[in-house]
Structure 1
Amino acid sequence: MDEALFNAAPKKARIEIIPLIDVVFFLLATFVLFTLSLDKIESIEIPLPKGGEPREAEDLTIYLQTTDHGLFHWKLGRTSPAEQLTASELGPRLETYRRSVANPRVLINGDDRAPFSETIRALDAVRLARIREVSLETVRN
């Protein structure tokens, strides 16, 4: 009879999953009870400002165009009509503009037929008026 015990096939090991499920449910219940016992976060109601229609910023840039006749076309913003100025009128006009606007900006554009010396004259007038923000507009044909 002892031989029958030795010749019998060995039993395979079984993994019991029920104790594992018990441990997982215990941890889940502990986590739920712990989170329910936390203090609730209290907040203060803050009245927020109401939004309105977005306003477009007013364009106070000077658009200065040089011509081949030694004249300058002066525009305050893109939509205003252009005024014609001579070189002697340009300096005082730029000084007045610098004093009247908080952040003076000048954009210089040269006419196709205007020599570059007219653009340099405009740049010199802007520099003498102590306007720091100046740009040259170039157009690719």
Structure 2
Amino acid sequence: MPVQLQSSSGDEGDEARIEIIPLIDIMFFLLASFMLVSLSMTHLHRVPLALPEASTGIPDSKTPPFQISIDASGVTTWDRQIVTLSEITSKLLASAGPDESRVLISADAEARHKQVLGVLNAVRAAGITKVSFESKDPTR
């Protein structure tokens, strides 16, 4: 004989239903968590540098698509890969057109002027004129 389940109150019209409010709360929590984690990972692809200070710098809210770093010993990196000056020019020529590209050069405070100018010349050889130099604000 099969078992028949009845509610103790005797209502025949009650059906099981799924509560949506707790599911929405969980989804918003997960969304916020993923956003915070992704924002904290944005600077993982950079070489640690001791940037020079500049009090007259203008903050730029837009992140340029190309970031080139020069460390204290003069090693030039692009996305944590060591590159030469000719590789910088060829990568920029292959990546995008000169009208829409922007480059951010991040040089260590102890980097030699010659290496910084070499990178700047390599960027200009690719036809890119929108070049920024990263510095830190002395008041921070």
TM-score w.r.t. the length of structure 1 is 0.46
Whichever structure has more strand as a proportion of its residues is 1
TM-score w.r.t. the length of structure 2 is 0.46
Larger radius of gyration, structure 1 or 2?
Answer: 1
